[in-house]
Amino acid sequence: MNSFWQRLNKPFTVLAPMANVTDWAFRQAVIEAGASAGLSVDRPDVFFTEFISADGICAIGREKFKSELYFTENERPIVAQFFGANPEHMFKCAQLAQELGFDGIDINMGCPDKSVEKQGGGAALMKNHELAARVIKETIRGAEKLPVSVKTRLGYIKVDHDWFRHLLDTDIVALIIHGRTRKEMSKVPARWDEIGEIVELARGSGKLIIGNGDVKNMEDVYEKAKKYNLDGIMVGRGIFQNPWFFSDREIDDPKERINLLLKHLDNFEKLWGPNKNFNVMKRFIKIYINGWPGAKDLRSKLMTTKNKNQAVDFISKGGVV
């Protein structure tokens, strides 16, 4: 199969799916941060949506998930990530992703969240290889020409090569490995040596292997890709440390940081309107409003705001823009 995954230059970068983080509003901020670097846009090679419940879509309809599923052309290639353990629902969501014009579909098989596992999805699928195979098969059937990938962890309780043999035996195109087990949650540093072992296991399988966990900056991206022979690297929380991660710059100019927040606020409102708690933006306020004298004061004020207008008001009163 010749999908966008195979056409990427290696090592490629992927912005990790993160619930309540990687919606269209944030993905646009990441693109904006790269665009201000110069003429070319330095951005992740691949975007993912945050995870979306396949059961939810099938139970209450796609309309309720329109913000989660929203994307624009400048984000391509963009992959829709779904979680769920009902093969029929995954089939339907794969068809939907195709209809909406996504470039790929990813199945979440690593999420340790109790509510996700309770439905048999996320990390729970690592314990049920037969069901995982059916979920993959039906997703691929629904996806038709779109490539399907799986994002998973090293194993449930311990590193589980059987799990990976099983995944490598399916028709997925790419495999993303978060270098921790389910049991380890996020409590230990990602185990890149173990990711390297799975790369060896996958040799000759034709699957693209992408490593994930604790990647700090672009230098780290290149080092890890080379050391562990990876096709690509997925970056999650590194972007919280530095929204300019993908253009390999550290920006401490308050004006530039505030402008990015303002654009993000604007897009957040456009995307969600009144349908998302404004507190979701507080994580980003902490990220952008950081690193200069006076940032702490402005940040504390912004943390008390309840909507975009209040936030913009504080910023303009602070005389920063």
Ligand X SMILES: Cc1cc2nc3c(=O)[nH]c(=O)nc-3n(C[C@H](O)[C@H](O)[C@H](O)COP(=O)(O)O)c2cc1C
- Site for ligand X, rule CB under 6 A: 16-19, 21, 50-51, 81, 108, 110-111, 151, 178, 212-215, 235-238
Q: What are the C-alpha distances in Å from 10 to residues 17, 76, 80, 209?
A: 20, 17, 22, 11
Rounded CA gap, 185 and 83, in Å? 18
CB of 50 to ligand X, least distance (A): 5
Alpha-carbon Rg for the chain, nearest whole angstrom, is: 20
Q: What are the C-alpha distances in Å from 233 to residues 176, 198, 219, 246?
A: 9, 14, 12, 12
CB under 8 Å to 108, separation ≥6 — which residues?
17, 51, 81, 82, 83, 116, 121, 122, 151
Residue nearest to ligand X (CB): 236
Render the burial of 143-176: b for 16+ CB within 10 Å, e for the rest: beebbbbbbbbbbbeebbeebbebbbebebbbbb
Nearest CA-CA partner of 153 in 236, 237, 230, 213: 213
Q: Is 93 a catalytic residue?
A: no
Would you say 182 or 301 has its CB closer to ligand X? 182
Would you say 234 or 298 has its CB closer to ligand X? 234
Would you say 149 or 258 has its CB closer to ligand X? 149
CB of 2 to ligand X, least distance (A): 25
CB of 230 to ligand X, least distance (A): 14
CB of 112 to ligand X, least distance (A): 9
Selected catalytic residue, list 46, 57, 80, 111: 111
Would you say 54 or 315 has its CB closer to ligand X? 54
Rounded CA gap, 315 and 312, in Å? 5
Would you say 239 or 295 has its CB closer to ligand X? 239
CB of 321 to ligand X, least distance (A): 28
CB of 279 to ligand X, least distance (A): 14
User: Residue 208, SS3?
Assistant: strand
Nearest CA-CA partner of 24 in 254, 263, 279, 305: 263
Phi, psi torsion values for 294, nearest 5 degrees: 100, -15
Pairing of strands 12-15, 232-235: parallel
Would you say 92 or 180 has its CB closer to ligand X? 180
User: Residue 70, SS3?
Assistant: coil
**Which are the catalytic amino acids?**
111
